[in-house]
Amino acid sequence: MNAIISASELASDLTGSNPPVVLDVRWQLSLAKAAGEQPFDGHAAYAAGHIPGAVFVDLDRELAAAPGERGRHPLPEVADFGAAMRRAGVSAGTPVIVYDGGQGWAAARAWWMLRWTGHPDVRVLDGGLPSWEGPLETAEPTPAEGDFVPRPGAVELLDADGAAALARSGVLFDARAGERYRGEVEPIDRVGGHIPGAVSAPTTENVAADGRFLPAEELHARFKALGVSDDAPVGVYCGSGVSGAHEVLALAVAGIPAALYVGSWSEWSSDPSRPVAVGPDPQ
């Protein structure tokens, strides 16, 4: 099954015999506090207009636990995640479509969480809300309680030690911007740089200007050129397990399975004993 869906396909599915549950996961990485600005309010954006029937999901509260030693967006308690998904109407036998404001990162985090916990049919709206040409509504639906019971482990999850090992035995992609990978700038975390052995692969280069993913064959060629082979395991990290999920999604579109290090650089760099590499080269 394809991991993404077009707006026209979604519009058709919504009128079909088994319409999907639609989740709105609008969110933005915010540096507003440091800049003295108000942070992005995803729920306010949702309330101003969303795809009919869509239910809002808060990334910071429902797709992550509180920031701490495990990173800025560590995994939530599985029971809490399951309860949030059931409140949103998610059931094991019903397709789920997730979207965000167009960047794709937050939607990919929701997609990955549902896939990791065993949901068999979840896709991301390619291009997010800007790709939707149908009507919007402002009323917030009250969906019937779903029956989804999360069972973690359906896709691979990396911890810090596993990420370090994968950087040596396979291919570990760093999905952040190149300047953060090189250690030239670090606007959020304790120190700049990358996990030794990781390969720079900014997830922003997996999409076209309109936010839609590049064709599968182009993505496959890109990842092959970056070192993916038929027999090497692949993993991804980013700053806090959000944009990295987007790269895992791009790899899925390309037909390449990949593990996610959810703690990512925010967890790795919080421990001064862990090694840090800088510059353009993996080592």
Chain segment 191-201, per-residue pLDDT in tens: 999 999 999 99
- Verify that 127 and 13 share a domain, yes or no: yes
- Name the amino acid, one letter, at 137: E
The mean pLDDT value for 159-187 works out to 97
Alpha-helix runs per DSSP H in the chain: 7-14, 32-35, 42-48, 59-62, 78-87, 105-116, 160-169, 178-182, 216-225, 243-253, 264-268
Domain end residue (candidates: 131, 147, 175)? 131
Residue 123 has which token pair? 């896709």
Cα angle 177-56-247, degrees, rounded to a multiple of 5: 25
pLDDT at position 37, please? Answer: 65
Tally the domains of the chain.
2
Chain segment 123-142, per-residue pLDDT in tens: 999 999 999 999 999 999 99
- Let me know if 238 is a catalytic residue: yes
Residue 9 pLDDT exceeds 70: yes
Alpha-helix runs per DSSP H in 104-215: 105-116, 160-169, 178-182
Give which of 202, 185, 189, 187 is closest to 246, Cα–Cα.
202
- Verify that 230 and 184 share a domain, yes or no: yes
Residue 27 pLDDT exceeds 50: yes
By residue range, what is the domain housing residue 76? 4-131
Given pLDDT bands bounded at 50, 70 and 90, which one contains residue 33? Answer: very low
Beta bridge partners of 50: 137
Q: Is residue 40, in this structure, part of any structural domain at all?
A: yes
Output the domain CATH number for residue 183: 3.40.250.10
* d(C-alpha 136, C-alpha 147), whole Å: 27
27: Cβ contacts below 8 Å, ≥ 6 apart: 40, 42, 58, 59, 60, 100, 101, 105, 106, 242
Which is the catalytic residue, given 85, 238, 252, 260? 238
The mean pLDDT value for 55-81 works out to 97
Given pLDDT bands bounded at 50, 70 and 90, which one contains residue 35? Answer: low
Distance of CA 165 to the CA centre of its chain: 22
Q: Is residue 151, in this structure, part of any structural domain at all?
A: no
Place of tokens 């009128």: 15
- Verify that 187 and 263 share a domain, yes or no: yes
- Verify that 12 and 118 share a domain, yes or no: yes
- Verify that 64 and 8 share a domain, yes or no: yes
- Verify that 73 and 187 share a domain, yes or no: no
Q: What is the pTM of this model?
A: 0.96
- Verify that 110 and 198 share a domain, yes or no: no
- Verify that 9 and 122 share a domain, yes or no: yes
* d(C-alpha 219, C-alpha 151), whole Å: 30
Residue 11 has which token pair? 């519009």
Residue 269 has which token pair? 């760099």
- Verify that 118 and 25 share a domain, yes or no: yes
Q: CB–CB of 206/214 below 8 Å?
A: yes
Residue 36 pLDDT exceeds 70: no
What is the residue-averaged pLDDT of the chain?
Answer: 95
Q: Is residue 138, in this structure, part of any structural domain at all?
A: no
- Verify that 92 and 211 share a domain, yes or no: no
Distance of CA 80 to the CA centre of its chain: 19
